[in-house]
Chain A
Amino acid sequence: NAGVTQTPKFRVLKTGQSMTLLCAQDMNHEYMYWYRQDPGMGLRLIHYSVGEGTTAKGEVPDGYNVSRLKKQNFLLGLESAAPSQTSVYFCASSYSGYEQYFGPGTRLTVT
């Protein structure tokens, strides 16, 4: 039982490049979330999903897209990376929508 895993762990992008972050969970959770964490700030919700095939915007969705084609996977895409998207990205999943379990994070730097 791996819990929540994230791929990749680190990535450096140039401005304008695109990439996809993969989140996978093996706990059969319905709810999945993508957050970003910046220094001195709490976790901010980017997008979330309440089940396979559904997505919704969170607090800071601009510049990101998501997809939940399979229940166990939640993908976060950056179509045209900007330096303001340099951050640590965390994925989380939840059975009930309350207690959330987090992955180890992806550290992204955009130059």
Chain B
Amino acid sequence: GESVGLHLPTLSVQEGDNSIINCAYSNSASDYFIWYKQESGKGPQFIIDIRSNMDKRQGQRVTVLLNKTVKHLSLQIAATQPGDSAVYFCAENPRTGTASKLTFGTGTRLQVTL
């Protein structure tokens, strides 16, 4: 079936560097994508989202890029800080049925080294 996946399970980045977390999706009908951050022992926390009619969206220190041609999503974190260490999930809304449901990837662990 359709699924959302990630290229790298673990990403190690030095403090102050930029981080890029990638995500591949397979459902070309998806119209909405979202990134979550999950710290150990906590629930997922919203970071940023993007609709399919956009290819870039910026937040505070974060940017999401959407390439519909190759069905690829990325999250860029500028000037990575120790507090950014967490598991990051991408998710898509496949627009099946009348209610919006999200399909989640398995996650990428970001480790920030000092």
Contact = CB atoms under 8 A, between A and B. Distances in A.
Contacts of A101: 46
A94 B36 CA distance: 14
B43 A103 contact: yes
Interface of A: 4, 31, 33, 40-45, 48, 50, 56, 58, 90, 94, 96-105
B105 to A, nearest CB: 5
B89 interface: yes
A99 B107 contact: no
A44 B43 CA distance: 14
B101 A90 contact: no
Contact of B34 (A33, A40, A42, A99): A99
Contacts of B4: 42
A100 B45 CA distance: 9
B101 A105 contact: no
Contacts of B43: 4, 90, 102-105
B93 interface: yes
B99 A50 contact: yes
Contact of B100 (A43, A44, A96): A96
Given A43-B91, A48-B99, A105-B43, 4 more contacts: A90-B44, A96-B100, A98-B34, A104-B42
